[in-house]
Structure 1
Amino acid sequence: MPRRFTGWPVQALDVLLKLEGVPTTQVRERHRADRERLVRAPMVALLSDLADADPRYADFSVWHFAKDPFWWQHQGAVVRLARNVEIGLRFDLDGLHVKGAWHYPDPGQVRQFRSAVAEDTSGARLVEILAALPEQFEVTGDVMKRGPREYPPDHPRAELLRYRSLVATRPVWPEDAVHTADAVDQVLTVAHELDDLLSWLARHVQVPAPRRAST
């Protein structure tokens, strides 16, 4: 199947430059059509090609513009893999960044995460996965100042137990790949690098659905 994505044209960067700072409503509306055509439409094409390459990436959304200027200056998209576990993409003047994320957890998900981190087999596996990520990745998250009370402060994975979300992000290289169809393969490469982490999260942070009462 021929690919839809041919790259972001250099004119997309010109549009984003015009939207820097705090653009007025008039400025935004003046550039709305160009932004849709040059910035957002290529992201839709890129995500469609990812879904064609791997059916796991078929559940995606590409953000529209909101009132906040941030969303006019940064084109975001997500590929949902499990509840609150996703691949995120952001295209802006700094290029294209891809992240694997578990964030905005539902009630119970942080407890599930900590239980898996504390358990010897699953916890040690997460440590291995994070250590194996290429050095280009930045690992962040919502981290408590202190560890949770239910675990000893000298737990071998005490640092990981402080996390209430986990995000690994890296840019797509080379930077000029975003202007060609090669960006699809570059994003697929990053997704492959994140596969073990996202699979671990999808397996261990999902809260079982409550049972329905029998009638």
Structure 2
Amino acid sequence: MFTGFPVTALDFYEDLESDNSKSFWAAHKPVYDESVRAPMIALLDELEPEFGPGKVFRPHRDVRFSKDKAPYKTHQGGFVETTPGAGFYVQVDARGLFVAGGHYAHSPDRLARYRAAVDAELRGSQLVSVVAGLEAAGFDIGGEQLKTAPRGFGTDHPRIELLRHKSLTAGRLFTSPDWIDSPRTLTEVRDAWVAMRPLVDWFSDVLG
């Protein structure tokens, strides 16, 4: 049963940011296993009946093509995929708890389908309404964007801001909440994911 993330989870990542080395990891791996990984698994297990099975991301970074050779991620993420590249996300790190939802990765085919849906009056208007509702509820809208209009669309398109997105997410950061080590964390994540469900469902309907 999920009872929260111990405060030692935040401390662990604060220390890891200062010493991202294999020796630090080896010395503190029991802290990671007990205070980070195990609670994340328990959290996703609790949410599975309502949102679907979740995945706990591996802690090691892929440094093959990166100039930054730090071996470990300074956060722990969990993801529930509803359609390829889209779903619900939760993360714990030194800052606290981050929750998000939306579409994270577009293939060329899916990006074309996304833009066609935004261009269509019915689907496009639905997405405008969903995004506006999330912004009004205090969520931050993010995602990779083009600086200009995508090819084939004019800058005067009524939904040009959405068309510029290559990925589209909504998220909220809870900075060092005093409830992170309690079962309330489950409630906060669930409530945020419920609020973001219209965005995730829109992508699942369009791209699924």
Structure 1-normalised TM-score? 0.86
Match of 2:184, as an amino acid? D
- Any idea what SS the aligned residue of 1:177 has? coil
Tell me what 2:186 maps to: 184
Match of 1:42, as an amino acid? P
Tell me what 1:77 maps to: 78
Distance in 2, matches of 1:163 and 1:39, equals 32
The one of 49, 54, 57 aligned to 1:60: 54
Distance in 2, matches of 1:179 and 1:70, equals 27
Q: State the shift of 1:14 in Å.
A: 2.8
Q: Is the 8 A contact 1:146 1:162 kept in 2?
A: yes
- Any idea what SS the aligned residue of 1:179 has? coil
- Any idea what SS the aligned residue of 1:175 has? coil
Structure 1's 50 and 69: CA in aligned 2 closer, same or farther, altered over 3 A? farther
Tell me what 1:213 maps to: none
Match of 2:10, as an amino acid? L
Identity of aligned residues (%): 30
Tell me what 1:90 maps to: 91
Distance in 1, matches of 2:8 and 2:86, equals 33
The one of 6, 16, 19 aligned to 1:9: 6
The one of 147, 150, 156 aligned to 1:148: 150
- Any idea what SS the aligned residue of 1:121 has? helix
Tell me what 1:20 maps to: 17
Which ranges in structure 1 are unaligned for 5 or more consecutive residues? Answer: 207-215
Please list the CA deviations of residues 82-108 of structure 1 after superposition, one character each: whole Å capped at 9, or x if unmatched: 111111111011111111121221231
Tell me what 1:193 maps to: 195
Larger Rg computed on CA atoms: 1
Q: Is the 8 A contact 2:12 2:94 kept in 1?
A: no
Q: Is the 8 A contact 1:59 1:81 kept in 2?
A: no
Distance in 2, matches of 1:20 and 1:174, equals 16
Please list the CA deviations of residues 34-81 of structure 1 after superposition, one character each: whole Å capped at 9, or x if unmatched: 1111111111111111113x1xx2221112220464744211110111
For the aligned residues, what is the CA RMSD?
Answer: 1.8
Structure 1's 171 and 199: CA in aligned 2 closer, same or farther, altered over 3 A? same
Distance in 1, matches of 2:175 and 2:16, equals 25
Tell me what 1:203 maps to: 205
Structure 2-normalised TM-score? 0.89
Which ranges in structure 2 are unaligned for 5 or more consecutive residues? Answer: 62-68
Distance in 2, matches of 1:69 and 1:8, equals 24
Q: Is the 8 A contact 2:118 2:124 kept in 1?
A: yes
